[in-house]
Structure 1
Amino acid sequence: MNFETISVEVDRRGVATLTLSRHAQHNAISGLMMRELTAAAGLLSEDGAVRVVVLTGEGESFCAGGDLNWMKEQIAASREERIAEARRLALMLKALRDLPKPLIGRVNGQAYGGGVGLISVCDAAIAVEGARFGLTETRLGLIPATISPYVIARIGPSAMLRLATSARLFDAAAARDIGLVTAVVAPDALDAAVEAEIVPYFAVAPEAAGAAKALVHALSPPIDDALIEMTLTRLADTWETPEAAEGIAAFLEKRKPAWASDPTR
């Protein structure tokens, strides 16, 4: 499997490690990465030798969210083009969520926006102490629309409300408390903790594990085409607001947006 933004390695046991490989960009999600992750999910789904998939990031970050150049492209894009790109992200997340194999997140560092979405489609996730998380879209005048079905399914609407509306950052312990990650360990214990999460899957029938995963999804609120289209429409609507225009301009110009104020004054 040859990719530019990710790597896939499968060991002799059938453990596939899917690594986001844009170290210099803190593994931010680009349009190409979306396409490559979707393709990798398809290949791993069909590979009968693969028993478990581990999703991680290269370097000290897990995933910093949307790539800056990708964001700039969205500024100049039409409504239809923005919806198409958002749909690409949504379908990438759905492809990973629907993998008929256990998917374990090895959260080696910070995760913001789309990075939180990636953790949310994992069946379990182990994070390092010191990792920081955030649904930071509202700081740009946007909303975490595309990732929201997956994040809400993971942490529930109450936690999502608090985090999405405030864009506050939170630590690994808080991520564990709300169910975003299942365990928090020291950096030097991360690999051992991931291995401990992997081992039980070798005692179960692979197809039964996939069927059990599909059963849980079938018994949960559906993330179907209608829901995905609704989130894409809401995101497109938000992109067209004056707040989004100001928020994104301020971000690119490295200044505070006009609507940000000092709460201590």
Structure 2
Amino acid sequence: MPLVRSQTAQGVATVTLDSPTNRNALSTALIEELLAALAAADADVSVRVVVLTHTGPVFCSGADLKETAAAFGSGRPPINRLGEVLTAIWESPKPVVARLTGPARAGGLGLVAAADIAVCSLDATFAFSEVRIGVIPAVISATVLPRLSPRAAAELFLTGDVFDGARAREIGLVTAAVPADEVDAAVASFVASLVRGAPGALRGTKELLRRRKADTFSDELAAMTELSVSYFGSAEGIEGIMSFRDKRRPNWIPDGVS
């Protein structure tokens, strides 16, 4: 049975962690299937947005500790592949929206933080539980630390305490925390906005958000001016401006999207 399912409709690829009996733990098998699903979504020109979600009561419990224990001495625990997953989400050319209505622990928080937008239920719980089993949140820090305030990161990394959706929103781990019965509507609202963006512009904006700034303000403005001019002169930029002038939909909005 597959551990990850994927389906595409109206420009949205929904990638679902589907190993509820294992609390969607990051086993090697699940990681391989997740990487394949993300790669397929990236390669599909019809896909504008990726939604990462789950079946069962738990979004992701982190590394598969049973498999990890069995791998002692082999040098090949599942954590070796976690960085590949975080990179695939973080560097995806398409916006990734995480949707969760249940707990996320350890590596699962890395997935949430890697997504561009994350929506959780208010009663979802989170914990950086690594210190309580004698390890550290090293790999996931690459995606988590850019999201969290330093004080919140220190508190939660060091204590391993559980916190809820409201706190996750407050510290920047998630974009929105809403009642459980409003999660799907909140995700749909974000997706409806995202699919209206031009594919190249969405990719470029993701790169813009994560680029290193130039050393001086004048160099930064020069670089940004050059980048802006290139996009205004691109095929998408011209199509966007012409469609605005002509009061019509630009040609990149998927069929069926109102």
TM-score range relative to shorter protein: 0.7 to 0.9
Q: Does 1:86 align with 2:79?
A: yes
Which residue of the partner structure matches residue 177 of structure 2? 184
Which residue of the partner structure matches residue 77 of structure 1? 73
The alignment partner of 1:63 has SS state of: coil
TM-score by length of 1: 0.76
The alignment partner of 1:61 has SS state of: coil
Structure 2: which 5+ residue stretches go unaligned?
A: 214-258
Q: Deviations over 1:145-191 (max 9, x none)?
A: 11111110221433221111111111111100001111111111111
Which residue of the partner structure matches residue 242 of structure 1? none
Q: Does 1:154 align with 2:152?
A: no
Q: What amino acid maps onto 1:147 in structure 2? A: I
Kept after mapping to 2: 8 A contact 1:108/1:187: yes
Which residue of the partner structure matches residue 230 of structure 1? none
| Matches for 1:63-74 after TM superposition, within 5 Å | 63-74=60-71
The alignment partner of 1:197 has SS state of: helix
Q: Deviations over 1:78-115 (max 9, x none)?
A: 4x435xx4331111110111111110011111000011
TM-score by length of 2: 0.78
Kept after mapping to 2: 8 A contact 1:38/1:96: no
Alignment root-mean-square deviation, CA = 1.5
Which residue of the partner structure matches residue 60 of structure 1? 57
Distance in 2, matches of 1:190 and 1:201, equals 17
Distance in 2, matches of 1:121 and 1:193, equals 19
* Percent identical: 38
Q: Does 1:105 align with 2:98?
A: yes
Which residue of the partner structure matches residue 168 of structure 2? 175
Distance in 2, matches of 1:23 and 1:87, equals 22
Which residue of the partner structure matches residue 96 of structure 1? 89
Q: What amino acid maps onto 1:67 in structure 2? A: D
Which residue of the partner structure matches residue 5 of structure 1? 3
Q: In 2 relative to 1, CA 150–44 (structure 1 residues): closer, same or farther, beyond 3 Å?
A: same
Kept after mapping to 1: 8 A contact 2:148/2:172: yes
Kept after mapping to 2: 8 A contact 1:128/1:172: yes
The structural deviation recorded for 1:14 is: 1.2
The alignment partner of 2:99 has SS state of: strand
Kept after mapping to 2: 8 A contact 1:21/1:27: yes
Distance in 2, matches of 1:60 and 1:67, equals 17
Which residue of the partner structure matches residue 210 of structure 1? 203
| Matches for 1:229-240 after TM superposition, within 5 Å | none
Larger Rg: 2
The alignment partner of 2:145 has SS state of: helix
Q: What amino acid maps onto 2:3 in structure 1? A: T
Which residue of the partner structure matches residue 28 of structure 1? 25
Kept after mapping to 1: 8 A contact 2:101/2:123: no
Q: Deviations over 1:106-158 (max 9, x none)?
A: 11110000110010011011111211100001001111111111110221433
Which residue of the partner structure matches residue 17 of structure 1? 14
Distance in 2, matches of 1:156 and 1:7, equals 34
Distance in 2, matches of 1:23 and 1:48, equals 30
Kept after mapping to 2: 8 A contact 1:55/1:104: yes
Structure 1: which 5+ residue stretches go unaligned?
A: 221-265
Q: What amino acid maps onto 1:47 in structure 2? A: D
The structural deviation recorded for 1:32 is: 0.9
The alignment partner of 2:147 has SS state of: helix
The structural deviation recorded for 1:214 is: 1.5
Which residue of the partner structure matches residue 136 of structure 2? 143
Kept after mapping to 2: 8 A contact 1:64/1:114: yes
Distance in 1, matches of 2:29 and 2:118, equals 24
Q: What amino acid maps onto 2:110 in structure 1? A: G
Q: What amino acid maps onto 2:34 in structure 1? A: L
